Amino acid sequence: MTRKMFAVIGVATVAVLLIIATSRVLAEETGRCYVTVTTPHTGDRAGVDVLVTGKAVVAPGNSLWAFARRRGLLSAWPQAGGAIVPDLAGNYSVLVVLGTPNETGDFEVFIQVVDAVQNAKLETWFRQAELTGRYPGMPVPPFVAGCGVPTTLTLTKTSN
């Protein structure tokens, strides 16, 4: 590669990083927060687990989480072992487990933003679960209102 090509690549890289940084700062300054799900879609069929992908902008101090529960239950189970961390462009992917291996039927998946207090409670839940081997259901925690109502998908688990 020539020096000119390196210079062009360098300028393009800096421009992309500035756009990403500017969009994150703008989101923080305006309080703009959002979560979208790209795949899967409500009504899709799934196996024992499903990869959920989407895009999110989350302000500092808040965290993005995934939850799953059998439709009709009040309790839900946090997923992925911790908070979802979107990449610099805001893209995320999280593996969600739908119930136990012998369960089939409709499941709800929630992708939502929680505040620091709820994030700490969820992290504690995972530490306890890892220590005890017990993964009790829990109420879905309150969401950050400025980020909108949690994105909810209803999926039909048809196999293990």
Using DSSP, state whether 60 is helix, strand or coil. Answer: coil
Domain-by-domain residue ranges, the chain? 1-30, 32-157
At residue 57, the pLDDT reads 96
Span 115-134, mean pLDDT?
A: 96
At residue 10, the pLDDT reads 53
C-alpha dist (Å) from residue 102 to 3, 22, 24, 66, 141:
60, 47, 43, 22, 27
| Predicted confidence (pLDDT) per residue in 136-148, tens digit | 999 999 999 899 8
Domain covering 32-157 assigned CATH 2.60.40.10 in the classification: yes
| Predicted confidence (pLDDT) per residue in 18-75, tens digit | 344 434 443 444 468 999 999 999 999 999 999 999 999 999 999 999 999 999 999 9
Assess contact for 106 and 70: CB atoms under 8 A: yes
At residue 12, the pLDDT reads 45
| Predicted confidence (pLDDT) per residue in 74-88, tens digit | 999 999 999 999 999
Nearest Cα residue to 151 out of 117, 120, 109 = 109
C-alpha dist (Å) from residue 2 to 5, 7, 9:
5, 9, 11
Assess contact for 96 and 79: CB atoms under 8 A: yes
Tokens in use for 57? 């902008």
Quickly state the pLDDT bin for 4 (edges 50, 70, 90): low
